[in-house]
Each structure stands twice: as C-alpha cells, then as structure tokens.
Chain A
Amino acid sequence: MSGMTTGFRALRLPSLTPAQRVMGLFGFWLVLAVCGPFFAPYAPGQIIDTEVFAPLSHRHWLGTDYLGRDLGSRLLYAVRYTVLICTLSTAFSCGCGILLGIATTATPAWMEQVAGRLMDGILSIPSLLCALLVIAAFGDSLLALVLTLGVIYTPGAYRTSRALALRIARMDYITVAVARGEGALFIIWREILPNMRGPLLADVGLRFIYAVLLLSNLSFLGLGVQPPLVDLGSLVRENVLGLVYGSGAVILPTIVIGVLTVGINLVLDGTSRR
C-alpha cells in the first residue's frame, strides 16, 4: 500500500513553476496541432459515408459530419488551425501591445495620448463586427484572420503591458540604468521586459483564449479557415444541425474548445493564485 503511494509520488510530475506549467500545457496543444493531422485516417475533405451525422462506430470512431466525412480526422485538422491561428494572432497582438505599451512609458505624453485613443477606438468597436468589416475588406485568408484577431486584441495587451511597464519603470533599477546612461532599447529589452514575464504570461494566455472564442464566433458569420480545412468553431457551426440528432459532430468539437480554453485558464489561475 505504502509502496504504491511512494510509487505514485515518484510518478508525480516534478513540481513545476507556474510558467513551466503554462508552457507545458501550451506545448502539448502545439504538438497536437503540428502532429495531429499526420494521424488522421482520412483527408479532411473526403466523404466516406453516405450517412451524415453518423454516430460513433468502429469504422469511423467519432462518427461522421454533415457531409458524411470522418469527424475524427476533421477534428485533428480543426485543432491544428485553431491553435495555430490563435497562437499567431496572440503573438501579434501581444507583440504589438507590449511594444507599444512599453514604448509609450518612455515617449512624450502626446504619443501616449494618441496610442491610448487609438486603442480605445479599437476597443469600442464590438470585436465580432470589427472582424466582419476587416475580413470583408481583406478576405478571409489565414493571414487576414491572424491579423484581424491580432489587431482586435492588441488594446488589451497594450493596457496590461503599459500598466506593468509603468510600475517597473518607476523601479529604482531603471533609475540606476538611466543614470548610467543606458540606451532606451537596452532598458526596454533587458531591464523592463524580463520583469514583466510572469504577469505577461498570464495575459498572453488570456488573449489566446479570447482569440479562440472570437474565432469560434466568427464562424457564425461564415468566416474562418478555407475549406475543406476547418477550425474548431467552424466545425461546431457547420454541424450545428446535428444537434437535433444528438450528433457528436457538434458535441465533440465543443468539448475540445472547452478543454483547450478552460485548461489553459485554470493553469493560469493557478499561477496567479500561488
């Protein structure tokens, strides 16, 4: 008995720092996104059955979708595109937001004003409508999706990083660096940024989740990855009629979205709680 518990304890993951835990979970999804489709038994556009919304069976484990395609395969592709688009757009929004957020702590006040008004403006347009407009104007290519989601969530990243940077900029070690005569880039890159890592990570995670959600809701307006590829939200959307037949084609992708977002959120919550 006690041997077993020791065994389990030995099996338990080494105690990870919160950042490692976030990166670990995130890494898992990235790996799934990159490698998952290689294990898909069918092509994403291949119709394999005349029965639509087929239930789970030995032939196609997760059933079929509204066209009679293999749901399991499509799910693997959907994870790829949701995770990749959201990762890239998060990288974009956080990159821009953080850069702007830190930069405006050092630039003249009017620049901060301009940036602030700009961000307020973006924030004030409902995100779904903003996405609709931008994608209608520039098409729904992968790049357009990534940039749209990126721009929409830039203000949030800007606000968070600016608040953080302002606090850090007041720290004495920044004073010392300024008094030493260090350049602005060195101060931003070496002195400020490394100290924002923890809270920023939580913020980045949050932005990622928002991106997943907006991407899901975009599918409602018929926007998303080009067929036959699919993202998770579009997968739910295109199969939503299966709901009345209790089809897994609606339920399974919803669960995957839930596991993706709730999982990362819980780990992030854990980081802020400790």
Chain B
Amino acid sequence: MSRAHMISVRNLDIVGHRPDGGTVPIVRDVSLEVREGQMLALIGESGSGKTTIALSLLGHVRPGCAISGGQITVAGHDVTSMTRHELRGFRGRTISYVAQNAGTAFNPALSIAQQVIEPARVHWAMTRQQAERKMIELFRALALPEPETIGARYPYQLSGGQLQRLMAAMALITDPEIVVFDEPTTALDVTTQIEVLAAFRAVLADRGITGVYVTHDLAIVAQIADHAVVLRHGQVRESGTVARILGNPQDEYTRELVAACRIPPRATPCAPMASAREDRVLDLSDVIVGYGNRTAEGLPERRILDHVSLSVPRGSTLGIIGESGCGKSTLARTISGLQPWAAGQVVFRGEALAPAVADRTREQRRRLQIVAQNADLVLNPAWRIGATIERVLTFFHGMKGAEARAEAMRLLDMVRLPHALLERYPAELSGGQKQRVNFARALAARPDLVLCDEITAALDPVVAAAILELMAELQETLGISYIFITHDLHAVRAVCDQVAVLYAGHVVEQCDSQSLTAGAHHPYTRLLVSSVPEMRAGWLADAMALRHAEGAPAAQRRADGGCQFFSRCDMRMPGQCDRGPVPVHTLPDGARIACYRSCADLAFPGGVAPAAPLHSYES
C-alpha cells in the first residue's frame, strides 16, 4: 500500500438496523481515495450518507448502524479490523474530526482548554505544559481572540464561529495526519463563515494535513478542496477534481446541484420604491420592540428592533437580510402581531394595525399571512394535510366539506403537489413538500401579503431553488406581496425587488436588490455581500484581501446612541460615528442608507474625503 494514498475506501457498505430486525442500506458500494496532503470534499444533500462515510473513516459508526462490507484503509491502518483498543489510539491521534455543530459537540461542563488538550493527554502525546503551549499556538494560528486566555472559558461563553475554530484546534492538537471536517460552517453566518474558512485553510496548508471535507455547499468546495465526491442516497454519483466537477459536471444530479447554486437573479425588473402611500401594502414607521424596564419615555430599555421603518410596495417582494440575532424573526413576529411593539406604527393596506393579533380584525388577519421557517414545526403533525388546509378555508371563508376539499385540491395544484397528499400526515412528507403545503395553507387565506421567514434555510439547495421559483410564479399569477426574510443573498437576488439590511435591530439600508453589488452601500451591506461564497476557486483569497478590520464578531447593542456597527466597521470615524443619531441618506433611486459617511464615501469605499450628504435628516 502506497503512502501516497492516505485514505482508501473500497466498496464500503453500511447498513442501519430497523427495530423489526431488518436492515436498510445507508451507504452502498462507496470507493474513494485521498492522497497525502490533499483535501477531498464529500458533497451531498441530507440523507446522502456523507457524514456516515466520514465517521467510518475513524472506525466509528453510530448506534444501530454497522459496516457490512468493504475496506477502509487510513494512513496504513485497516480500520475495519482494528480492535477497540487500537481504535482508541488511532482516533484523535492519527485522524481527527471537526463536528458540524460545535455548540453541541463541546461538553458544556468542561472548559475549552480541558477539552482541546484532552486528545493530546489521553494519547500521551505530550505533557500538559507542552499541550497548553501548542494549544495557544493553534489558537493564534486560527485567529482566535485572546489566545492565551480563551481556553479558560466555557462553551456557552463563546460564539459559534469561535467554537468551530476551537474545535479545529482540538482536532489539530495531536498533529494528526488526517482531519475530517463535517459541515463545519453550515451553522454559521456568512460573515463568520468566511473567517472560519480562511483560518482553516491557512492552518491546513501550513501543516500539510490530509483532509476530508463534508458539505453540501459547492461554493465552499471550490475554496477548500482539491477533489470531490458527489453522493446521493449513499452512492457515489461522480468523483473527480473540484475544478472538473464544478466546471464540467457529467452526472445529471451533479449538474442539478451546480445549477441550484447558481440561481439566476430575477428576470423581471425590480419594482421601484413606491412613493405614494396607496401603492404600498405595508408601512412600518419607527417601530420599537423590546423588553426589560421602561425608560423615561415609556420605551423598553433593551430593544430588539429600534426605530425600524420599512415599506413594501404592492405586488412586490421586500427582502430582509442580516446575521442571526439581528432581529429578523422578531420583525416577522411583530408584523404578524405575535410580538406587540412598544412604539411606532404599522399601516397595512391603509389601515393602522393593532399591535396584538387578538385586536386585529379577521379580515386583517386573513390578508396578512405568515409562512414560518421550519417546515417540520409548522405543520401540526397530528393533522392530515387536507385538514390543515381546510381549517384555514373554514376559518376565513366558511367553506366546508366538498367545497373546501375542492379548494384545497386547487391550492395543492397551485403549489404543484399531488392531490393524494391531502390524506397524508406531515411526517410522511419530504421537507420540500412540507414547505409547499405551508405555502398552500397561507394562500388558502387569499392574502395580500405573505411573510416568509427563512423558508429555504432548512432545505437542500435543489429543493430551495424550486421553492423560490414557485414564489415568483405565485406572485406573478396572484399579485401578492412578500416579505422575504433570509440570510441567503442568492435567494434575495432571485426573488426580491427591494432589500432591507438589518443590523442589531436597526435598518441600516434599504435598497434595490439587484444593485447590492454595485453603487453606494452601507459598510455592513458590503461586508455581507462580500462574504457570500462564490463558486470559483480563489474567491476566498480575494474576499479576505478586501476585509480590512477584524471586528468583534458578536454584535453588541449600544444603548448610548451612535452606530451599532461601529466596532466592526472598516470606515468608522471614531469620535463621530459612536455618538448621536445616525443620519439617513436617501439616494436618487429611493434607496436609504443610515451612515455618517457621505454617499460618495460609501460609493467608493476607501475614498478620500468625506463629502456632505445629499439629503440628510436626523432620524
């Protein structure tokens, strides 16, 4: 066996045991090879067996599963024939693992340092002092803040991006020959993801480590891997170099995947910002939502949304983007009346809405529907699909029996689902089907405005793309308006007319969705846009080159006024940006940006002199 093949898997079969004694194949006849120092990407959707294969490289199968055939050779060891004892010495020493969700993979009861140096300690690789020195060195290499002291912290005190990097440090502490990454950035915001990816790449390249990278995101594959294997239903669909697979996919499924990552921007021109009130279906002005003690003005001290003003033109789509925790979901809950606001006004179709849903009229509730994020949680598992949809029809339109059934069928047609589904329970449906039912239920009310909260987040790219397509189609035929809340900029470009950028509860910018990549923008918008991975080799290096400041990643709410983005901003002007109200510029095309910098500065970042704003008023 040549050392050149660091990993070699031949005809691997893994089965899962059913409770009734039968088995189901999870991985079928998979073969793959990785040369020393190279990175292999395992690409696939959920259920493709990619994590199972990755874990099997460490000789680990989850309870209820078993390797039923094939051979796994890793760094010269025949993994399938190793004893428990041998495996223990092998794992964490020769090959190590970076789990998908560091938040749960770190033991909450132990400090970071304890866990990071544990592999070194249990394998007797080095003394405690050596291990700690090594750890700090790795922390530094992974660009973690305060490398000397961060180890004393506990998992709950750290952000997702930091934990993911700490987990990489844990994997690297013993200088393993191979590291397996299992979707290490999936749970992260794009702005964090780019930093983590960059850190990984630097460290791996430095140490000549062989890697396996499990992901469903082709753009990441393009940045980090040399070879790729595309999996579906536990079988290999295609394998080859990354460049070939992304550039010239042979397999039909691979082609679909690649296509899904390149959602074309919407073909129709964006609806302009409507100036007339009648043209707008929804208007938010200076809405404040929060909790905690009341200030002197009777407003909550801790704010989730602060002076949010937005408008949705009739028949168009407003996208709302931002990092996790910026208040996106609260905004959706506020508009739908589930979270009353403390101040401000919401006008829907010319009528002022009551803050609480209970105080709204049935007609208002009918015309404003919400499609929530997680399709698994949004359909009552105890109800058949038919009952779910018909309940809305009965509730709002008084339809019953055959009439309701006929209407439900029509709605299923509308979202392209077979009628047979009416008799099924949600558990029997796939994720994409559930999201379509979710949509059909909202449409059953015949709404004017549909709030879509992260509806594609939990879906595989191919399925998500289809949902977006459906949304656009329904808008065209029914003329409904959407508020589309997402962190996915591709999706925004595909379906939105306007886009509002939310940061720490503030709208920092509202603009045309197609102009995101050009023209004058808020520094945060630019950071966000530039962080979205592109499916070309070298994007990561380019993007990192553009980032100037390594800001504090966690957005800290400032109560003392000033720009919330101040600490992370690469154009900040200390002494000016951190105090007083932020001026709002209105651009000629109707876009609005909240920044102290002039439009000219914003249009040319790194530009010379701050110019006077065109229109500015105190917000």
Show the binding face of A for B, using Cβ within 8 Å.
15, 171-173, 175-176, 178-182, 191, 194-195, 197, 274
A191–B387 Cα distance when bound, in Å, is: 12
Name which of B32-40, B357-365, B405-413, B463-471 contacts chain A.
B357-365
Asked if A179 meets B380 with Cβ closer than 8 Å, knowing A172-B372, A274-B19, the reply is: no
Q: Could you list 30 A-B pairs, sorted by A, with CB under 8 Å?
A: A171-B377, A171-B378, A172-B374, A172-B377, A172-B378, A173-B377, A173-B379, A173-B380, A175-B338, A175-B370, A175-B372, A176-B372, A178-B338, A179-B336, A179-B338, A180-B365, A180-B392, A180-B395, A180-B396, A180-B445, A181-B362, A181-B395, A182-B395, A194-B382, A194-B383, A195-B380, A195-B381, A195-B382, A197-B382, A274-B19
Task: Give complex CA distance A15, B381 in Å.
Answer: 22
Contact, CB under 8 Å: B365 / A179: yes
Which chain B residues border A181 with CB–CB below 8 Å?
Answer: 357-358, 360, 362, 365, 395
A178 near B378 with CB under 8 A, answer no
What is the minimal beta-carbon distance from A200 to any residue of chain B, in angstroms?
A: 12
Residue of B with least CB distance to A182: B395
Q: Which of chain A's residues have a CB closer than 8 A to the CB of B362?
A: 181
**Given the contacts A15-B20, A180-B395, A194-B382, A172 and B357 also touching, CB distance less than 8 Å:** no
The answer to whether A176 touches B382, judged by C-beta atoms less than 8 angstroms apart, is no
* Shortest Cβ distance from residue B24 to the other chain A in the assembled complex, whole angstroms: 16
**In the complex the two chains form, what is the Cα distance from A260 to B214 in whole Å?**
51
List of A residues within 8 angstroms of B382 by Cβ: 194-195, 197
From B369, B372, B378, B382, name the one whose CB has the most chain A CB atoms within 10 angstroms: B382
Chain B nearest CB from A62 CB (Å) reads: 39
Interface positions, chain B 559-574, Cβ under 8 Å from A, are none
| B337 interfacial contact with A, CB 8 Å | yes
- Given contacts A194-B382, A195-B380, 17 further A-B pairs with CB under 8 A are A172-B373, A172-B377, A173-B378, A173-B379, A173-B380, A175-B333, A175-B372, A176-B370, A176-B441, A179-B369, A180-B365, A180-B392, A181-B362, A181-B395, A195-B381, A197-B382, A274-B19
Q: Which residues of A contact B395 (CB under 8 A)?
A: 180-182
A23 to chain B, nearest CB (A): 17
| Bound form: Cα–Cα A178–B380 in Å | 13
5 smallest A-B Cβ distances: which pairs?
Answer: A194-B382, A172-B378, A172-B372, A172-B377, A173-B380
A194 touches B19 (CB 8 A): no
Residue of B20, B374, B380 most packed against chain A (CB within 10 A):
B380
B20: nearest residue on chain A (CB-CB)? A15
Residues of B within 8 A of A274 (CB): 19
Contact partners of B377 in chain A: CB under 8 A: 171-173
| Least CB separation from B392: chain A residue | A180
Find chain A residues with CB under 8 A from B441 CB: 176
Give bound CA distance, A181 to B377, whole Å: 19
Q: Give every chain A residue within 8 A of B381 (Cβ-Cβ).
A: 195
- CA of A176 to CA of B377, assembled, Å: 10
Q: Considering the complex, give the chain A residue whose CB is closest to the CB of B372.
A: A172
A residues near B396, Cβ cutoff 8 Å: 180
Contact with A along B16-34 (1 / 0, CB 8 A): 0001100000000000000
In the complex, the chain A residue whose C-beta lies closest to that of B441 is: A176
Max count, chain A CB within 10 A of own CB: residue among B360, B372, B374: B372
